[in-house]
Amino acid sequence: MSDLDAFRAEVRGWLEANCPAEMREPIREEGDVCWGGRNWVFKNDAQKAWLEACVSKGYTVPDWPKAYGGAGLTPEQTKVFKQEMKRIHARSPLDSFGIWMLGPALLQFGTEEQKVEYLNPIARGEIRWCQGYSEPGSGSDLVSLQTFGEDKGDHWVVNGSKIWTSYADQADWIFCLVRTDKTNKYQGITFMLFDMASKGVTTKPILLISGNSPFCETFFDDVEVPKTQFIGEINRGWDVAKYLLGHEREMISGGGAGGDMVSIGSAFAKAFGKNAAGELDDPILRAEMAAFDVDVFAYRAMGERFMDMWKTGRAHPASSNMMKYVGTELNKRRHELVMSGGGSEALEWDSEETKGGARARGWLRTKANSIEGGTSEVMLNVIAKRILDLPGA
Amino acid sequence: MPLYHNDDQAMLKDSVAPFVAEQAPVSHLRKLRDSADATGFSRDLWAQFTEMGLPGMLVPEAHGGLGMGHMEAGIVLEEIGRNLTPSPFLSTSVGAVAALAKAGGTQAGRWLPAIASGEAIIALAIDEGAKHRPDRIATTATRAGNGFRLDGKKSFVLHGHIADMSIVAAKTDGGITLFAVPKDAKGVTADPRRLVDSSLASHVTLDGVEVDADAVIGEVDAGGEILDALLAATRTGAAAEMVGVGQGAMDMTVTYLKERKQFGKLIGEFQGLQHRAAHLYGEMEVARATVMKAQQLLDEGNEGAKLMVSVAKAKAGRAANLAVREGVQMHGGIGMTDEYDIGLYMKRDRALAEYMGDVHYHIDQVARMNGY
């Protein structure tokens, strides 16, 4: 037995013993996702037990070093771990922007002290982070951001506002892009970290077309931030932000931005019924779903090739933009078909049978896929400029 | 297995790409077309292919070939596509080899070495109407004397008028049977038609064609699986060739966007064209990955290959079609001229898209394979 096979057997045994049955059920509602943090209320004992079991092994962040709360797994072991999790349909023990976004930035740009101080509470689910990037006047043109940190010697005084801050009202800390030099557009931004309980921080949830409020407006009114709480160099926060945006697109690309990768047509045939020939009983919808399935299976192959190339340094550095563009557009198309397939039932907004209008709300949510993290149009601009090398782009 | 070319495959590409580009660029196609070539390809070029061992790439080593896989054949086909090279490679070295190697027996022993040595050109006589419907084969093979008597009509038989042997799919009492019908068989008439892309495809009439019992490829009534192998290989190969056609058209178009000026600007500066070119790039990348996945699964003998082959033929069909349509449109007026190459790409894409099942056929197959 190879080392990797032995590791697989070990993980399989551990999961069998430690992953509660309830944590192998599909995610049904918001509370099923464990975000952690100071104010987290576990939905049930199983969610708590599952998180604690994973924390004890470093499995909330399996590929982070042990010193920072991870399990120190190699990329091959991490792949095996994920395969075994998927095999039993285990839920993620902990989701967080700390794991997805801040962690990778700290691992790349943080000092040793910062890594120890910030990564461990993220891995344990003790501190929940939010991301302060966009501003009301700075969406796609992020670098024009205006939130300003005035230098007061040992601290900054931050004033301004952020928008689209995911779960800012429930987050403990924020990682935030703040202008610290008004004379230099790109080299005048600092990547700051501060406590959302600081004096002068307020949040206001934004009601979206889905009827949900996952995002907030966040206001800073003379917020004092110690001048030790930044990543990288002062005025070079844009480098960190760019790295993270690339990482975010890579994550979206690798994580299946196309949404669920199973055949939409076969799922609907079950609900919709088939004709005597065994075909989904609506020829035009069948054709559209089959055409969509082709694109989904094709995108799955693209995802595999992209990750194989990315991990070995063969991919064009801008190719994650292409993945993000194709994947998010595909996911939007999926949800249009889900709505068509669901008919008038899918229109119901709050009935119990539709789990509170899950399809309608989910469909509306996906419209943001091609806006957040860089719009489709920005992705196309980047491809035109950096990959196709078109003039003036 | 990672989904990119390994070192050996990259080396193969490095030798095949310049070879095809130098020996058979688009001007080679024009020369054959303008001289009203009656063969459909250049035998001199095929001899050069043979010197490089290409006709026998997929032929098992025991039969004198290189024993390579679909991933390697795809590398050659992509270059054939990129240069619009007329060649019997797809039908002979991919489709026929897949069927013969799967079947084994007398016909494999007879033809595989001849393919590997470049001596035999093989045609695939599958289709019977304007659309690809291999599940509705009407050509019959009835027992007669020591062998069989074949009757029926075949269409879209590339190289059918010059092939040394045609693989004919026919209905027998208990299923489908494939036959190796030699060139000089009595009762076979091949009527070659010039297609939009200047290739020659025949309408083949089988009128009481008598063949010996050993003309059967594989076993009587058991041709279904062999036909499946032939179709999977040929469809994947056609998809790889379409990736080449699409990539060639896209590269030519992106270059043109950087050269052509209107309103005092390079037209590639206009965002209206930039976004369309960038979108096309994404579609072509996805098509390429999909075709590689199909090749990989076929080479592994994976049972998921059949689904991925249809996905690949459909996706490559869509992407290459977008590439040639955008190619002609973005070239503007010059794209409509015969003198400029982009229109030839559009013609070749149309013929390949139709070959062995078009986009719609394969989308339907994907639905069926997923149980709806």
User: Per residue in B274-308, pLDDT tens?
Assistant: 999 999 999 999 999 999 999 999 999 999 999 99
Tell me the pLDDT tens digit for each residue of B30-63.
Answer: 999 999 999 999 999 999 999 999 999 999 999 9
Q: Which amino acid is at B320?
A: A
B266 and A266 in contact by Cβ < 8 A?
A: no
Q: Which regions of B216-276 does DSSP assign to beta strands (E)? A: 216-217, 261-262, 265-266
**Cα dist from A223 to A110, A132, A152, A156, A161, whole Å:** 23, 14, 12, 8, 11
- The whole-number pLDDT of residue A226 equals 97
**Cα dist from B246 to A112, A268, B290, whole Å:** 50, 33, 14
B371: nearest CB among A266, A312, A381: A266
User: Which residue from B minimizes the CA distance to A294?
Assistant: B311
Q: Choosing among A253, A262, A297, A319, which should be mutated to test the B contact, i.e. which has the most B CBs within 10 A? A: A297
A299: nearest CB among B257, B286, B312: B286
What residues in B contact A305, CB-CB < 8 Å? Answer: 3-4, 288-289, 292-293
User: Which residue from B minimizes the CA distance to A315?
Assistant: B4
Q: Is A381 on the interface with B (CB under 8 A)?
A: yes
- ipTM given for this complex: 0.96
- The whole-number pLDDT of residue A261 equals 67
**Cα dist from B14 to A311, B49, B70, B141, B248, whole Å:** 23, 15, 17, 46, 17
A&B contacts, CB < 8 Å = 146
Q: Is A129 on the interface with B (CB under 8 A)?
A: no
Q: Is B285 on the interface with A (CB under 8 A)?
A: yes
A302 and B363 in contact by Cβ < 8 A?
A: no
Q: For residues B247 and B323, is the Cβ–Cβ distance under 8 A?
A: yes
A280 and B367 in contact by Cβ < 8 A?
A: yes
* % pLDDT > 90, chain B: 100
- The whole-number pLDDT of residue A253 equals 64
User: Which residue from A minimizes the CA distance to B266?
Assistant: A391
- The whole-number pLDDT of residue A260 equals 59
Note the pTM of the prediction, 2 decimals.
0.92
Q: Is A287 on the interface with B (CB under 8 A)?
A: yes
pLDDT tens, per residue, chain A with 393 residues: 689 999 999 999 999 999 999 999 988 877 899 999 999 999 999 999 999 999 999 999 999 999 999 999 998 899 899 989 999 999 999 999 999 999 999 999 999 999 999 999 999 999 999 999 999 999 999 999 999 999 999 999 999 999 999 999 999 999 999 999 999 999 999 999 999 999 999 999 999 999 989 899 999 999 999 999 999 999 999 999 989 887 877 776 655 555 556 799 998 888 778 999 999 999 999 999 999 999 999 999 999 999 899 889 999 999 999 999 999 999 999 999 999 999 999 999 999 999 999 999 999 999 999 998 899 999 999 999 999 999 985
Q: Is B66 on the interface with A (CB under 8 A)?
A: no
- The whole-number pLDDT of residue B325 equals 98
Query: Rounded to an integer, what distance in angstroms lies between the CA atom of residue A271 and that of residue A268?
Result: 5
DSSP, collapsed to helix, strand or coil, labels residue B104 as: coil
What residues in A contact B288, CB-CB < 8 Å? Answer: 305
Q: Is B272 on the interface with A (CB under 8 A)?
A: no
Q: Is A322 on the interface with B (CB under 8 A)?
A: yes
Q: Is A265 on the interface with B (CB under 8 A)?
A: yes
B372: nearest CB among A274, A314, A391: A274
B258 and A326 in contact by Cβ < 8 A?
A: no
Mean of pLDDT values over B229-258: 98
- The whole-number pLDDT of residue A377 equals 97
